[in-house]
Amino acid sequence: MVTLPHRPARWCIALLLFVGGGPSFTEQGYAQTSPPDTLIIQVHRAVARGLSYFSSPRRTLDPDAVLLHAYLKDRFNLPKLVKAERVLAAIRADSTSQFHKFLRLAEPMRCRMDFLDADGANDVAAVGVWYDELPDRSLFMERIRDVEWSEPYQVTHALWAMAMVRNCFHAEVDTAVERRLVEHNLAIMASNRPLWNDVAIEALAMAQYNDTAYVPPQEYIQEIIALQNLNGSWNWVPNDPTRESQHTTILALWALLQYKPLEWPESPRDMVVH
């Protein structure tokens, strides 16, 4: 479960830390006016409900949600997932699972060369996680350029990988390819709203992570909040109660935590891999 100790009201604001990024390619996000107080309150409440969703003692946590939560936890000062250790132990024990290569998001581990084989969305992201272990750093951009541009999850994961390489390893990336990835992620959002599905919410989280100057339109945030279930979760497919998803829920929290026209702490933490 999630440990939710009593915290002062300023804790809600302390949750809303922005993440680091590179040059801005999303000018349409610049002309935002300050959000009304009601929207700020709605964001705070949605985040609190989402965190509470993971606190249920009856809930079995999914590996991808635990790994992404670990990636976000220190950055946003999130409460610890008490049940996470059980899930992480299972990931450690199964070296053949698709999640094993992402264990570095939560704790130190050694790289295996097969982690660097890029085939599909998850493996594209893994190349970003293990960028510092590539035998030739130029291989990273080769892998990114080879993504299937018609596959939405490959596009979102490729932007995540590029943002990780810059934010975690302080490396340079090909800005022309980055611009193309950003444009594709913005298109994914535009084509799936106002009923945001899993990949559209992922695209929003990645666009914000990649570019600290990007501020989503207020209606994007309002639409995502409106799709939250009563138990604090989001659905993989909007308005389909049979498709409740921890993956979509942790991505929605990531997107809301990065919403920037709010009151930020002065010293946000860097997001790192171990």
Residue 32 lies in a domain: no
DSSP code for 235: E
What's the mean per-residue pLDDT of the chain? 84
Given the structure tokens 């990988």, which residue do they identify? 161
100 C-beta neighbours (distance < 10 Å), count: 17
Please tell me the predicted confidence (pLDDT) of residue 5.
36
Residue 267 lies in a domain: no
Q: Does residue 13 sit within a domain?
A: no
Tens of pLDDT, residues 238-264: 989 899 999 999 999 999 998 876 554
- For 17-57, the pLDDT digits (tens) are 333 344 455 545 544 556 677 888 899 999 999 999 998 88
In a domain, 27, yes or no: no
Within a domain: 106? yes
> How far apart are the C-alpha atoms of 73 and 54, rounded to whole Å?
13
Domain-located, residue 248: yes
CB 140 within 8 A of CB 165: yes
Q: Which of 64, 73, 267, 216 is nearest to 224 (CA)?
A: 216
Residues 195-208, mean pLDDT to the nearest whole number:
97
Q: Decide: 87 and 63 in contact? Cβ < 8 Å.
A: yes
Work out whether strand 244-245 and strand 234-235 pair parallel, antiparallel, or are unpaired.
antiparallel
Q: Measured over all CA atoms, what is the biggest interatomic distance in the chain, rounded to whole angstroms?
A: 50
| 233 HSE (CA, 13 A, CB side) | 22
Residue 201 in tokens:
């919410």
**Residue 167 within a domain:** yes
Q: What does the pLDDT look like over 72-122, one tens digit per residue?
A: 888 888 888 989 999 999 999 999 998 999 999 999 999 988 888 756 667
Cite the beta strand spans of the chain per DSSP E.
234-235, 244-245
- Spatial distance between the Cα atoms of 167 and 160, rounded to a whole number of angstroms: 10
- Give one word for 239, left, alpha or beta, with left for phi > 0 and alpha for psi -120 to 50: left
User: Are 37 and 111 in contact, with CB atoms under 8 Å apart?
Assistant: no
Half-sphere exposure of 261 (CA within 13 A, CB side): 19
pTM: 0.85
CA 186 – CA 191 distance, rounded (Å): 9
How far is 79 from 53, CA to CA, in rounded Å? Answer: 12
Q: Residue 61 sits in which domain range?
A: 37-257
Omega of the bond leading into 194 within 30 degrees of 0 (cis) = yes
| Count of the separate structural domains present in the chain | 1
Residue 1 lies in a domain: no
